Structure 1
Amino acid sequence: MPTVPRLACLLLVAVVAGCAGTDTSAPSASNEAETEYDAATVENMREGTYNDAFESSYEPLPATPTLIQDATIMTAAGEPLENGDLLMRGREVDTLGTDLPVPNGAQVVNGSGMYVTPGLIDSHSHLGVSATPQVGPHYDNNEVGMATPGLWMEHGVWPQGPGFARALAGGTTTALLLSGSGDLIEGRGFTAKLIPARTPQSMKFPDAPGTLKMACGENPKGGSGFPTTRMGTANGLRSTFLDAQDYRERWDAWLADPTGAPPERDLGMETLAQVLRGDMLVQVHCYRADDMTTIMEIAQEFAFDIRSFHHAVEAYKIRDRLAEADISASMWSNWWGFKMEAFDGIPENVPLVHAAGARAIVHSDDDLEIQRLHHEAAKALRAGREAGLDISRNEALRWITANPAWALGIQDRVGTLEPGKNADVVLWTGDPFSVYTKAQRVWMDGALVYDRTDPDRQPRSDFELGGPRQH
């Protein structure tokens, strides 16, 4: 073959595989056309989702100004307001007080003998991925692998799952939907408004911070491959975050000077980079006190914060450390003993964590308990009082409202009844801590989304309508 001039070879490279005996190295950076990115594109790259993909498309339902009169209003922000009124207007809590005037066009609800609370918030649910009915094709809860941080919970949520309407009928308006705990890092959680929806994004709580689900203990070490010990789980987490540190440093250098080609994307490392930047809230499935302290040390090593330990049946053993580190504990009221790491669970766990000054949360982790979070909080309140702890009803209400709102990073909008906050409101038939009490009506962003007395205001999933008629 005759010698081909170098310039001609470069022109031919798009047509032929290459030229023997020529220099095919990339041009130097000084000769590259430097691409500049606008600020919005750079921010999207930092967050890891381009072109507004997977943004919330939640739209509040039409709302009429509503005045609830003469109810006992438990705000979760202070002492109850007896014979109080609450006005919802403009999708927000407008005014609380007594003998409030009725605005023109407002709907009036007689709350005499009833109680009002904020919408309840569950910090740990598997609705939508361990969807009811619990059959194999509906199970999208766990993936296989040591660490799978690139998974997004919302990509497995079935929005027509009947469990969402059941939870809403129990007064729960918001929930953090989480994947399982079979891996050390299972992926991103999904904060949802529990309304009937066609797509997961139309349930997505607008602008809620991202969350990462991690796990320790028996679940992630119980598979057939690495890790099979607690030593292995610690090593697996540390080695994964070492890789994430390197990824973050390369990307942060480019983000500081976004010219030329950005680094190659890695969906898992993208998630962990957000954790290391402090842009994502870490939620950790962890039972034993020693496991929790190990995770706290790993978080210290890699300079990220833990927002909440979940299940945390031994949180009472390190309650002072949780308070000092400002880490909440999302706990059952009285689950214990169903596996070895749950053996030391006690019914006083929630109140003891609360009494130490840490943020105590009562969660469900169950498609039935999410329907009665108020009763679960009542059980924990009674256990604390029987142990001699002085806990007010308002403080116990915060275990299922204000504190989980903080764990999800949405405390500025929900969790308490205060002017300017979202009008997520529940009217109860009686004292919410009574076993006889049920949710009578539920509002979300000021719109009535459930009414126990009106079948037309009791959402039902498409799945519950039955199959097509046979002709």
Structure 2
Amino acid sequence: MKNQMLTLVLALVLIPFCWAAHTQDTPVAIRGATILTGAGDVIEAGTLVFVGGKIVALGADVSPPDGADVIEAEGLYATPGFIDAYSHVGLGFSSLWHRESLMAASRRIADFLDNPGDSNWLRSGVTTTYVSPGGQNLVGGLGVIVKLTGSIVRDTAAVSASFGETALNAFEAPTTRQGMIAILRQTLIRAQEDALEGEDGRTFAQVLTGELPFRVLANTPDDILTALRLAEEFDLNLILDSAAGGHEVAEAIAKANVPVVVGPTIIGIGSGGPYETFALTPSNAASLHRSGVRIALSTAGFGAGRSVVMEAVLAKAHGLSEAAALGAVTSDAAAILGIGDRLGTLAAGMDADIVLWEGHPISTWGETKRVIVDGETVFER
């Protein structure tokens, strides 16, 4: 009797694991969808096959393999999971910035994440985001890329800095933008001379070699041009964040071949947002794109409320093409974040992060029907 009970208990314990292994090893085919690959290609009435969390095949002439689980998707669109290229998901207010020093380059945001998963954004079709420190520090630390199921894609993805008034107002000194930039230049020079010790020294060394991108939150045209000059002087792998006034200096940004993470589009002036965003226009993304700047979109959000899907819809409504808007939350966003080898495109070998939509995803009537992350359905309507 005891042996029978033990066998029953073991069976009950092991069945879920056997089923999980079975489902991961079983091919899944999405059949009949209009596939928007994220790289500009459109496959009508296509089939996409994934196994074990990776895409293995897609095309109009692909058939579901024998034994595959088939998801019928006729009349639906299939896209890569959307990417919000700048957010604060999983961070509490007390974790946003380092209050003891203006410079906190080696502060790892991954160490402060509190449940980076977000079901609201997942339901909207967003599966991945770059989580940045706040803008209160001149150099705020190392941002992290996470999937919104909670897994970490890259724990040290970039060094995030801020040239705006938020950083100026957070500390007693410096009191001017010139003073702030002088401190940063001196730090970079010391790092060049191997005179900067400790973790910050090692972090800045990676910035100077280009191994770590240097992301600068800059909104006024003057701050943007300052970031471009520093990038040229020190050969930095620069990414501009927000860039509300980017449309006014778009040609300079394009000439420097620097990508921009645009957004959020809707920011209140005065008590609702920084005055330095006065140049913000909803056509900013379109203006930058027309000038030849590679762009991604973001919300700078904490997870609740508007997702980056709405940023793409707004950008399209104000002049950005449908294809460019889709790229700004898929393939271009992934390329800017340095994860284009895994995410942002539907292609063989890529992560099976897939969203099925009723209605075009870059439209006010687009609605998610199923969201898949790493080959597992995490939301179904």
Bin for the TM-score computed over the shorter chain: 0.7 to 0.9
Question: Are residue 320 (structure 1) and residue 251 (structure 2) matched?
Answer: yes
Using the TM superposition, give the Cα deviation of residue 371 of structure 1 relative to its aligned residue in structure 2, in angstroms: 5.6
Using the TM superposition, give the Cα deviation of residue 335 of structure 1 relative to its aligned residue in structure 2, in angstroms: 2.3
- Is the contact made by 1:221 and 1:230 (CA closer than 8 Å) also made in structure 2? yes
Using the TM superposition, give the Cα deviation of residue 446 of structure 1 relative to its aligned residue in structure 2, in angstroms: 2.1
Letter in 2 for 1:139: S
Residues 370 and 70 of structure 1: CA distance in aligned 2, closer, same or farther (over 3 Å): farther
TM-score by length of 2: 0.87
1:244 alignment partner, SS class: helix
Residues 445 and 63 of structure 1: CA distance in aligned 2, closer, same or farther (over 3 Å): farther
Using the TM superposition, give the Cα deviation of residue 156 of structure 1 relative to its aligned residue in structure 2, in angstroms: 0.7
Residues 398 and 369 of structure 1: CA distance in aligned 2, closer, same or farther (over 3 Å): farther
Using the TM superposition, give the Cα deviation of residue 334 of structure 1 relative to its aligned residue in structure 2, in angstroms: 2.5
| Structure 2 unpaired stretches of 5+ | 1-22
2:170 alignment partner, SS class: coil
Match of 1:184 among 138, 142, 145: 138
Question: Are residue 424 (structure 1) and residue 353 (structure 2) matched?
Answer: yes
Match of 2:229 among 297, 322, 335: 297
Residues 357 and 195 of structure 1: CA distance in aligned 2, closer, same or farther (over 3 Å): same
Match of 2:302 among 329, 344, 367: 367
Letter in 2 for 1:416: T
1:434 counterpart residue number = 363
Match of 2:120 among 163, 166, 169: 166
Pairwise CA RMSD: 2.1
Letter in 1 for 2:98: E
Aligned counterparts of 1:434 and 1:91: Cα–Cα separation in 2: 28
Match of 1:153 among 101, 109, 128: 109
Using the TM superposition, give the Cα deviation of residue 147 of structure 1 relative to its aligned residue in structure 2, in angstroms: 0.8
- Is the contact made by 1:172 and 1:370 (CA closer than 8 Å) also made in structure 2? no
1:20 counterpart residue number = none
Residues 445 and 327 of structure 1: CA distance in aligned 2, closer, same or farther (over 3 Å): same
CA distances 1:359-408 after superposition (whole Å, capped 9, x unpaired):
121111113577632222011111116xxxxx2x2221001111111121
1:205 counterpart residue number = 153
Aligned counterparts of 1:141 and 1:63: Cα–Cα separation in 2: 40
Match of 1:268 among 192, 200, 203: 200
Letter in 1 for 2:216: V
Aligned counterparts of 2:293 and 2:217: Cα–Cα separation in 1: 18
Match of 1:409 among 322, 328, 338: 338
2:188 counterpart residue number = 241
Letter in 2 for 1:363: S
2:166 alignment partner, SS class: coil
Aligned counterparts of 2:338 and 2:248: Cα–Cα separation in 1: 26
1:309 counterpart residue number = 240
2:133 alignment partner, SS class: coil
Aligned counterparts of 2:292 and 2:107: Cα–Cα separation in 1: 34
Aligned counterparts of 2:25 and 2:162: Cα–Cα separation in 1: 40
- Is the contact made by 1:64 and 1:447 (CA closer than 8 Å) also made in structure 2? no
Letter in 1 for 2:124: G
1:321 alignment partner, SS class: helix
Question: Are residue 101 (structure 1) and residue 63 (structure 2) matched?
Answer: yes
Between structure 1 and structure 2, the one with the greater Rg is 1
Residues 63 and 194 of structure 1: CA distance in aligned 2, closer, same or farther (over 3 Å): farther
TM-score by length of 1: 0.71
Question: Are residue 122 (structure 1) and residue 84 (structure 2) matched?
Answer: yes
Using the TM superposition, give the Cα deviation of residue 301 of structure 1 relative to its aligned residue in structure 2, in angstroms: 2.0
Letter in 2 for 1:271: T
Runs (4+) of structure 1 exceeding 4 A deviation are 368-371
Aligned counterparts of 1:78 and 1:223: Cα–Cα separation in 2: 43
Give aligned pairs, total. Answer: 354
Question: Are residue 227 (structure 1) and residue 174 (structure 2) matched?
Answer: yes
Match of 2:94 among 113, 118, 139: 139
1:222 alignment partner, SS class: helix
CA distances 1:328-378 after superposition (whole Å, capped 9, x unpaired):
111126324333211111111001111111112111111357763222201
Q: How does 1:75-90 map to 2 (within 5 A)?
A: 75-90=37-52
Letter in 1 for 2:186: S
The sequence identity of aligned pairs, in percent, is 30
Aligned counterparts of 1:146 and 1:441: Cα–Cα separation in 2: 44
Aligned counterparts of 1:370 and 1:100: Cα–Cα separation in 2: 38
Question: Are residue 452 (structure 1) and residue 342 (structure 2) matched?
Answer: no
2:193 alignment partner, SS class: helix
- Is the contact made by 1:429 and 1:437 (CA closer than 8 Å) also made in structure 2? yes
Residues 444 and 354 of structure 1: CA distance in aligned 2, closer, same or farther (over 3 Å): same
Aligned counterparts of 1:235 and 1:171: Cα–Cα separation in 2: 42
CA distances 1:274-330 after superposition (whole Å, capped 9, x unpaired):
111211011111111110111121222222220x21111011112122222221111
Higher strand share: 2
1:183 alignment partner, SS class: coil
CA distances 1:113-172 after superposition (whole Å, capped 9, x unpaired):
211110111110101113xxxxxxx6311112221112110111112x5x6222222211
1:330 counterpart residue number = 261
- Is the contact made by 2:106 and 2:200 (CA closer than 8 Å) also made in structure 1? yes
Aligned counterparts of 2:29 and 2:281: Cα–Cα separation in 1: 42
2:16 counterpart residue number = none
Using the TM superposition, give the Cα deviation of residue 99 of structure 1 relative to its aligned residue in structure 2, in angstroms: 5.0
Residues 370 and 395 of structure 1: CA distance in aligned 2, closer, same or farther (over 3 Å): farther
